[in-house]
Copies of this chain bind each other. A is one copy, B any other.
Amino acid sequence: MKVGDVHYRSIWRDAATGEVRIIDQRWLPHDFPIATLESLDDFATAIRDMWVRGAPLIGATAAYGVARQMERDPSDAALAEAYEVLHATRPTAINLRWALDEMRNVLSRLPEADRAEAAFAKAAAICDDDVETNRMIGVHGLDIIREIAAKKKPGERVNLLTHCNAGWLATVDWGTATSPMYQAMEAGIDIHVWVDETRPRNQGAQLTSWEMAGAGIPHHLIVDNAGGHLMQRGEVDMVIVGTDRTTATGDVCNKIGTYLKALAARDNGVPFYVALPSSTIDWTVSDGLAEIPIEERDGREVTHVYGRDEDGTARFVQISPDATPGGNPAFDVTPARLVTGLITERGVATPSREGLLDLFPERRSTA
C-alpha cells in the first residue's frame, strides 16, 4: 500500500543490493524507519521484539531469514539451526511454522549449492502468494460488505469494527481484515471503521489507524472497552478481525480481546467474521482453548505506553505505580460457535471442520 506517493510492501528485497528490508513497525505512527535484516539473529530479533508482527508477515520474514542463512551457509545443520531459532521466536502464530516448513521442504532436497537461490525464490514466492491471497480475501469479504450496504438507507454508512492490526502491515500487502475495506472503498461503498486501539501494544492506534488515515478511509480510534456499547447501540454492522492461528474446527486464536468482541457481537446479532489466509489454519489442532499455546509477554508492555510527547519526541511513559506488576497474555481464543464465517482466499467457510474441508477438500485425507 502507499505511504505518501510510494507503494510499499511490509518486507522486500532491495533490487540493487539484494538486502532484505522491513518497516520497523515499533515506532509507527511517529517514525517510519526502514531496517535491513542481515544475520539470523537480526531476523529472530525482528520477529520476537515485534519490529514485524502479524501472522502472515511473521511467516514471510522467517522465510527470508532462512534464505539469508542459506546464502551464508547452505548446510543441513545451518538449515536446522535457522528453523529452530526462528521457530522459537513466537509461539502462537502458526504461519511461522508453516513458512519454515515450506522452506525446509523445498531446500532439504536440493544440493547445497542450489539452496541459496532457491530459498530466495521461495521466500519471494511466499510473499507474492500472500499478496494474491489477501487480494482474494478482499474479493470475498467485499461480497459481504456489499450485502450489508444493499440493506442500508441512502446516506447510511456501513460501520465495520476491527481489533488489532490485520492490515497490510501484518501481511506483505493488502492485509487480511483490511483487504475488504480497501476494496469496498474502491467500489464506492460508504464505509466507516471503528478501530480498537488494542492494548497493550496499541496496534490499532499505531498501525491500523495509520493505515486507515493513509488510505483516506473514514475511521475513529476507540478504546477496546467501547465496542460492546457501540454494538448495543446499533453502531456496528460487521466485525472483521484477523487471526494468528485457526483450528481445523474453526476456533480462532487472535490478539487478546478478540473473544470479548465476539461475545458482544453474538449478544447483539452483529456478524463476526475472521479473515485469514489458509496458511493460518492449523489442521493438527481441534480444540483451540486446550491446545494453542498463548504467549505471555513482558508485563512492561502493560505498564508502559509508547507515544509522542508535546515536544514531538516519541517515548514511553509508565502509567501505573512502581509497585504494580503487569500481567500480559498476548492472545485469546474465540470459540467457533461465536464466529459467523471465515473469509479465506477461496471463499467464506462456515467455522467448523466440515465447513473448512468443503473449501479445502485436499485436506480431507490428512484431517
Contacts and interface: CB of A to CB of B under 8 A. Distances in A.
A199 B220 contact: no
Nearest to A202: B319
B199 A197 contact: yes
A220 B326 contact: yes
Contacts of A205: 303, 319-320, 324
Contacts of A256: 223, 225-226, 229
Contact of A222 (B223, B230, B316, B327): B327
Q: Is the interface of A mostly helix, strand, loop or mixed?
A: mixed
A271 interface: no
Interface in A289-308: 289, 294, 299, 302-308
A296 to B, nearest CB: 11
A319 B302 contact: no
A261 B323 CA distance: 25
A325 interface: yes
B226 A198 contact: no
A188 interface: no
A273 to B, nearest CB: 19
Interface in A42-73: none
Nearest to A229: B332
Contact of A229 (B209, B213, B222, B294): B294
Nearest to A230: B329
A333 interface: yes
A27 interface: no
Contact of A200 (B219, B223, B306): B223
A332 B299 CA distance: 28
Nearest to A301: B223
A224 B222 contact: no
A186 interface: no
A305 B309 CA distance: 10
Given A213-B321, A263-B260, A308-B318, A302 B229 contact: no
Contact of A305 (B255, B305, B331): B305
Using C-beta atoms within 8 Å of the partner chain, give the interface range for chain A: 35 or more
A223 B29 contact: no
A347 B209 CA distance: 46
A232 interface: yes
A242 interface: no
A119 to B, nearest CB: 37
Given A310-B315, A317-B309, A302 B222 contact: yes
A327 B294 contact: no
A224 to B, nearest CB: 5
A259 interface: yes
A226 B29 contact: no
Contacts of A328: 222-223, 226
B326 A221 contact: yes
A257 interface: yes
A3 B223 CA distance: 31
B317 A305 contact: yes
Contacts of A228: 257, 259-260, 263, 332
A64 to B, nearest CB: 28
A289 B232 CA distance: 8
B198 A225 contact: yes
13 contacts: A209-B324, A220-B326, A225-B260, A228-B263, A228-B332, A229-B259, A229-B332, A230-B329, A232-B332, A304-B307, A306-B319, A307-B319, A308-B317
